[in-house]
């Protein structure tokens, strides 16, 4: 199971880096979101992969070690909320840039911008 999750994290990271290196803004935004998902899965798995285990200690379960660590779960929940808010802000900024310049390219500036406009 750990190998499958590690491969999934690697694939999400590779796809995120590929999309970030594109010259268009919206694939770059998707790449940053994919990288944040990969980091979230990595943080979640850092607290051990435990199935059907309570995140809170009950009775003498602390001695047997049959509990899930709640700290990575709290970190991932916080990271999801922050990344959702930041993605919404960046999408609106990219939409504003697209509506003002009528192009989705992120490498246009100066002289090249006048050539891209019809």
Predicted TM-score (pTM) of the model is 0.72
10-27 pLDDT, tens digit each: 999 999 999 999 888 888
Task: Tell me the CATH number at 23.
Answer: 1.10.287
* Structural domain count, the chain: 1
Strand partners, 105: 24
In a domain, 61, yes or no: no
49-85 pLDDT, tens digit each: 666 666 666 666 555 666 667 778 788 889 899 999 9
In a domain, 81, yes or no: yes
- Any idea of the CA torsion for 16, 22, 28, 33, to the nearest 10 degrees? -10
- Any idea of the CA torsion for 90, 14, 4, 86, to the nearest 10 degrees? -10
User: Which residue segment(s) compose the domain that 84 sits in?
Assistant: 2-52+67-113
Q: Judge whether residue 42 has pLDDT over 70.
A: yes
């Amino acid at each position: 199971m750990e190998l499958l999750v590690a491969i999934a994290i690697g694939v999400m990271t590779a796809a995120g880096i590929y999309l970030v290196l594109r010259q268009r803004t919206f694939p770059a935004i998707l790449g940053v979101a994919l990288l944040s998902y990969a980091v979230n899965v990595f943080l979640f798995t850092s607290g051990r992969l435990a199935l059907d285990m309570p995140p809170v200690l009950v009775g003498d379960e602390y001695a047997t070690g049959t509990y899930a660590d709640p700290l990575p779960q709290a970190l991932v929940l916080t990271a999801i909320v922050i990344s959702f808010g930041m993605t919404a802000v960046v999408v609106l900024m990219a939409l504003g840039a697209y509506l003002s310049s009528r192009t989705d390219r992120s490498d246009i500036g100066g002289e090249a911008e006048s050539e891209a406009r019809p």
